[in-house]
Amino acid sequence: MRAIVAAVQRPSVTDAEFDASLTELRQLAKTLGFEVVGRFTQKRPSFDPAAYFGSGKRDELRLMREEHSAGMILIDHEISPSQAFNLATEVGGEVMDRTMVILEIFHRHARSPLARAQVEIARLSYMGPRLREAAKQAGPKDRARSGTGGRSGGESHGELDRRKIRDRMAELQSELDAMALERTTQRARRQERQRLARVALVGYTNAGKSTLMRALTGNEALVADKLFATLDTTVRAMHPETVPRVLVSDTVGFIKNLPHGLVASFKSTLDEALEASLLAHVVDASDPGFERQLAVTEDVLDEIGAKDVPRLLVFNKIDRGGNEEELRAKYPGCIVMSARREGDVARLRKAIAAFFGRDQVEAELFLPWTAQNARGEIFASCTVLEERADGEGAILRVRGDAEVIGRLRASYTRRHE
């Protein structure tokens, strides 16, 4: 379908910001399969309360729409249900705002039951007020048809729809709660078994998180030049394996004005990732708007309570553009790289392993011959540097996380009478 991207520029918004945002809306439109045939803008002190654009501009937009035979107007802001309704009535075609576009992409890309339920809840809470608006516009007619059939006395179609939405949302919420509970128990069990080092790849959508996931772990991950290709958190061990063994999570990308309902619903997906002790914040260094994207990601991370998790700032796609020297000077300690270069990926892997290796200590463990079944645990949780044996058992010189080593030492030390 042909679409026009359209936006009002308020005085507080710079030209660069405004253009970047509209370019992003184009990308979002492309991800949904729209062909963008026009760009329509107006400078205005504020949005028109009735229909977003001023009345003269609405005529212009109608002409432009007709000229390009575009069926869809995409608005680069979240607008109210009545603004959308009035605009569509005057201009013709369908009107979708930024929030709706993003929700639609999430809806199409959701695969797992968890992601599906989360997206559906966010969509329903967005749809609720819009249905109310539609019902209001339908007005008395809607009421006149009511009160028949199986519906309870005097309930209109609109009210019925809204009740259905509320019921469905409650149902989804309890499904989500059940899933969350199950994940918590699974996670607790997993962690009990293996106190593993975890790094989460976070960042703006399309920054290259899944590409890095694939490069770091050797596993398949969905990589696509689309916004929000990934909606679920996946977890894989870094490969080739490092000591300590590090688990990498790939996560859903962020975007400017991420619909609020989505932040809330994806919080549980992200929570799991945010249990990581390190966040590798991936930034597309080749995007002229990378600084804004970086700031948006940091804001969302704050919002979901990850402010204090240590960061490794990773500027990716440097093969496509960006100034390496400037980045290094401005962001001390950052990594500048391309996921397409093996050497760079190895450097990232090393930096991650070094982070988790920083609290490592060496110690000697004694494993009596009667306790050989504990070998597996020791070999899994630390590096065995050296092994000797005497008449009573094995002596292992190991290196690993201070806490893990402390625990092992408590159990496996030679007791001298």
Ligand X SMILES: Nc1nc2c(ncn2[C@@H]2O[C@H](COP(=O)(O)OP(=O)(O)OP(=O)(O)O)[C@@H](O)[C@H]2O)c(=O)[nH]1
In the complex, the residues that contact ligand X under the rule CB under 6 A are 205-211, 223-225, 227-230, 253, 316-317, 319-320, 338-340
- Taking CB within 5 to 8 Å according to partner kind, which of Mg ion, ligand X, none is near residue 119? none
Four-point Cα dihedral 30, 111, 186, 373, nearest 10: -90
Using only the alpha carbons of the chain, give its radius of gyration: 27
Helices 113-138 and 98-109, packing angle to 10 deg:
140
Q: Which of 83, 86, 217, 230 binds Mg ion (CB under 5 A)?
A: 230
The residue written with tokens 């490969």 in the block is: 239
- Taking CB within 5 to 8 Å according to partner kind, which of ligand X, Mg ion, none is near residue 9? none
End-to-end CA distance of the chain: 83
Q: Which residues contact 203 (CB under 8 A, 6 or more apart)?
A: 209, 253, 254, 281, 282, 283, 293, 297, 314
Residue number with CB closer to Mg ion (229 or 246):
229
The residue written with tokens 């609405």 in the block is: 58
Helices (H), 236-288: 260-274
Residue 178 CB, shortest distance to ligand X, in Å, is 27
Alpha carbons 56 and 102: distance in angstroms, whole number: 29
- Taking CB within 5 to 8 Å according to partner kind, which of ligand X, Mg ion, none is near residue 207? ligand X
Q: Using CB under 5 A, which of the segments 132-140, 228-236, 280-288, 302-310 binds Mg ion?
A: 228-236
Q: Which of 4, 121, 200, 229 binds Mg ion (CB under 5 A)?
A: 229
Q: Nearest residue by C-beta to ligand X? A: 253
410: β partners: none
254: β partners: 204
Residue number with CB closer to ligand X (172 or 247):
247
- Opening angle at CA 339, ends 333 and 340, nearest 5: 135
Asked whether 253 and 205 are in contact (CB, 8 A), the reply is yes
DSSP 118: H
Asked whether 180 and 264 are in contact (CB, 8 A), the reply is no
Residue number with CB closer to Mg ion (72 or 215):
215
Distances (CA, A) of 139 to 120, 131, 148, 155, 184: 27, 12, 17, 13, 47
Residue 224 CB, shortest distance to Mg ion, in Å, is 8
Residue 124 CB, shortest distance to ligand X, in Å, is 23
Asked whether 154 and 147 are in contact (CB, 8 A), the reply is yes
Residue number with CB closer to Mg ion (109 or 162):
109
Residue number with CB closer to Mg ion (65 or 209):
209
Residue 99 CB, shortest distance to ligand X, in Å, is 18
Pair of tokens at residue 310: 């240590």
Task: Assign 318 to helix, strand or coil.
Answer: coil
Residue 355 CB, shortest distance to ligand X, in Å, is 21
Alpha carbons 328 and 78: distance in angstroms, whole number: 36
Residue number with CB closer to ligand X (224 or 380):
224
Residue number with CB closer to ligand X (164 or 350):
350
Q: Which residues contact 68 (CB under 8 A, 6 or more apart)?
A: 2, 4, 37, 38
Residue number with CB closer to ligand X (340 or 399):
340
Q: Does 231 engage in binding with Mg ion (CB under 5 A)?
A: no
Give the 3-state DSSP-derived string for 273-285, with helices as H, strands as E and coil as C: HHCCCEEEEEEEC
Residue number with CB closer to Mg ion (83 or 230):
230
Residue number with CB closer to Mg ion (21 or 230):
230
Q: Which of 21, 210, 297, 338 binds Mg ion (CB under 5 A)?
A: 210
Residue 263 CB, shortest distance to ligand X, in Å, is 15
Residue 215 CB, shortest distance to ligand X, in Å, is 9
- Total residues contacting Mg ion (rule CB under 5 A)? 4
Residue 255 CB, shortest distance to ligand X, in Å, is 9
Cis preceding linkage at 244, omega within 30: yes
Residue 110 CB, shortest distance to ligand X, in Å, is 13
- Taking CB within 5 to 8 Å according to partner kind, which of ligand X, Mg ion, none is near residue 72? none
- Taking CB within 5 to 8 Å according to partner kind, which of Mg ion, ligand X, none is near residue 338? ligand X
Residue 282 CB, shortest distance to ligand X, in Å, is 6
- Residues near Mg ion (CB under 5 A): 209-210, 229-230
